[in-house]
Amino acid sequence: MEKLCRFGTHRVIYPLGSLPQTAEKIDNQMVCLDNEILIDVETLNIDSASFTQIREVCNDDLDKMSEMILDIVETKGKMQNPVTGSGGMLLGKIKEIGKDYKTDASIGDKIASLVSLSLTPLQIDEIISIDLTKDQVNIKGQAILFETGIFSVIPKDLPADIVLSALDVCGAPTQVNKLVKKGDSVLILGAAGKSGILSAYQAKKNAGKEGKVIGLIHSEDKRADLEKLNVCDYIIVGDAKNPMEVYDNVLELNGDLVDVTINVVNVSNTEMSSILPTKKTGTVYFFSMATSFTKSALGAEGIASEALMIIGNGYTKDHAEFTLNILRESKPVYDLFVERYGKEKK
């Protein structure tokens, strides 16, 4: 093994010279080196695009899904879907801290990782269960975090399972807070999912009464959940893969193109449904891991749009605490997260 690197390149098996996220295979031996943290893992929160792809390929067969997940980790040394390229995050307890790893956390602390499983050395001893409603896999296993592998200690005032679900997408509402201004019109593709709910809440808070938030959802059965949050001025039930349908609906409801579009869907081919309804000088935020850079860039060029397109970097300064504060300040949002992602259903 080469000299220890704060970015984790010492764990890369091949291709040499790459970082752990882009590597095809990394070393997942669960030996805590001097600049690492060793974690006993309880739950994997699989990225939504990845989990959806695994479900579809396996036809919701839990045994086949388990086999596929174990095969990915065995092959790559990490949980990185070879189709979507995405990973997710984990919940676990710190077992060991390397002598050169600087942290205020302690052995035994329950933490949620804030870096992708696509770069995290992981070993799964057993898959205990898979929850299709939460995109979560309960396991017995271990993982390694590098010096740059940020994490959040689970706060005592919120349930760990709720925190895990929220932190999985904490980059989205934090970026929305930066992008949406008072009076803006905002379109959110995938508004009924966890990232969509948090993004819609923040968009409405920022845009205020003078602005408009339009939420696009895939099925009618999610409308009631979104309506009781009172975060969308309009709700469209439609296909995010049909750009002209989305475009026409937005024009009809808003009377104009929107200032900001937030894409948090978990399926591919939604790039033009994001760009087309956005003002040519507006902003499109692609948080979805199913986004194609090529389709976005060439598609925007094809309709002569110079909209600012932002890649959904999952990291934003203070994003964990910002997102958890949404759960603290909004009882309707908190209650919905408990209902959907909590161990005890309401």
- What are the angstrom distances between the C-alpha of 147 and each of 38, 82, 120? 12, 25, 12
Instruction: Give CA–CA dist 257/124, Å, rounded.
Output: 47
* CA distance readout (Å), 191 to 49, 136, 218, 282, 338: 15, 20, 9, 19, 18
Q: Domain-by-domain residue ranges, the chain?
A: 9-154, 171-318+327-333
- pTM here is 0.87
Q: What CA–CA distances, in Å, run from 74 to 28, 29, 125, 126, 218? A: 9, 11, 11, 12, 35
First to last CA, the chain: 50
Give the model's pLDDT for residue 315: 84
**∠325-331-336 over CA atoms, to 5°?**
100
Tokens of 237: 């039930």
Cβ proximity of 201 and 231 under 8 Å: yes
How confident is the model at residue 58, as a pLDDT? 97
pLDDT for res 2: 61
Q: Which pLDDT score is estimated for 342?
A: 85
What is residue 27's three-state secondary structure? Answer: coil
Structure tokens at 115: 């870096």
- The predicted structure's pLDDT at residue 290: 85
- Nearest-10 crossing angle of helices 160-167, 331-341: 100
d(Cα 96, Cα 181) in Å, to the nearest integer?
A: 44
pLDDT at 314: 81
Per CATH, the number for 171-318+327-333 is: 3.40.50.720
Distance CA 66, CA 69 (A): 5
Q: Which residues of 170-181 are buried (b: 16+ CB within 10 A; e: fewer)?
A: bbbbbbbbebbe
pLDDT digit string (tens) for the chain, length 346 residues:
568 999 999 999 999 999 999 999 999 999 999 999 999 999 999 998 899 999 999 999 999 999 999 999 999 999 999 999 999 999 999 999 999 999 999 999 999 999 999 999 999 999 999 999 889 999 999 999 999 999 999 999 999 989 989 998 999 999 999 999 999 999 999 999 999 999 999 999 999 999 999 999 999 999 999 999 999 999 999 999 999 999 999 999 999 999 999 999 988 999 999 999 999 999 999 998 889 999 999 999 999 999 999 998 888 889 999 999 999 999 999 999 999 988 744 3
- What residues pair up with 93 in beta bridges, in sequence order? 40, 110
